[in-house]
Structure formats: C-alpha cells, structure tokens
Structure 1
C-alpha cells in the first residue's frame, strides 16, 4: 500500500509533516490550497479514516499510525479554535 507524507502549515505559521498510509489524502487536500480549520479537520478525518480502513481491509487491523496522526491533528487544531478565521495550508505532498 503506497504511503505518503503531507506538509501542512498551521495558522501560526508552524509547519508539520503528517503521515497517511494511503494516497487517498490527495483526494481531500491539494498542494498549495488553504482551508478553514473546520473544513480541514473534516477533510483530514475522512481521508485518514478511509486510509486506515484500507489498511484494515488488507491486513485485518486498522492503521494505528493514521489514527495517531488524526489525533495529533485534532489536538493541535484545538489550540486555534478560538482564533478568528483560522486556516490551514497544505504545503506539499511527499511520496
């Protein structure tokens, strides 16, 4: 199963390299695009859940790395929920 990483920029400008066990993330995020925080969270949840489900279908267990990545994204996002119009930018994909 092809895995990939994707680099995002949080509203404070800090970049983070994230992990997906599947290329499906490219169906939900685009390089160079900026997303409102809640939209980004929704897209990330969908993509990483699908990716984890694909691992489960192939290997019989969900992907703990995808689940952990989603948990880290959600935890970091909480810090920006009170900000006015927080946005996340998808900087690039790393194959």
Structure 2
C-alpha cells in the first residue's frame, strides 16, 4: 500500500510534513490549496480515517500511525481554533 506524505503550513507559518498510510488522503487534500482551519481538520479526519480503513481492509487491523498523525494534527491545531481567518495551506502531496 503506497504511503503518502503531505506538507502543510499552519496559520503561524510553521510547516510540517504529515503521514498517511494510503493514497486515500489524496481525495481530501490537494497541493496548492488553502483550507479554512475547520475545513482542513474535517478533511484530515476523513482522509486519515479512510486511509486507516484501507489498512484495516487489507491487513485486518487499523493503522495506529494514521490515528497518531490525526491526534498530532488536532493537537497542533488547538491554539488556532476560534481565530478568525485561520487557514492551513497544503504545500505538497507526495507518494
């Protein structure tokens, strides 16, 4: 199963390389797009859950790495919640 890394820029300008165990994330985030924070979080949840589900379908167990990445993204986003105009840019998506 091909893994995917996607690079994002947080509202504070920090950049981060994130991990997905499957290409399923590509249906939810696209390089060159900027998403309002709430929308990005919804996309990350849906995409990483879909990726974990693909792993479960193939191997019989969910991907703990996808869930750990989602937990990290949600924790990193907390300081920006409620900030007007906060957005996350997806800089790259790489297989």
1:3-82 matches, cutoff 5 A: 3-82=3-82
User: Structure 1-normalised TM-score?
Assistant: 0.96
1:23-59, Cα deviation, whole Å (9 max, x unpaired): 1111111101000000000011000001001101111
Structure 2: runs of 5 or more not aligned: none
Long gaps (5+) in structure 1: none
| Poorly superposed stretches of 4+, deviation over 4 Å | none
- Count the aligned residue pairs: 95
Matches of 2:93 and 2:28, distance apart in 1: 12
TM-score by length of 2: 0.96
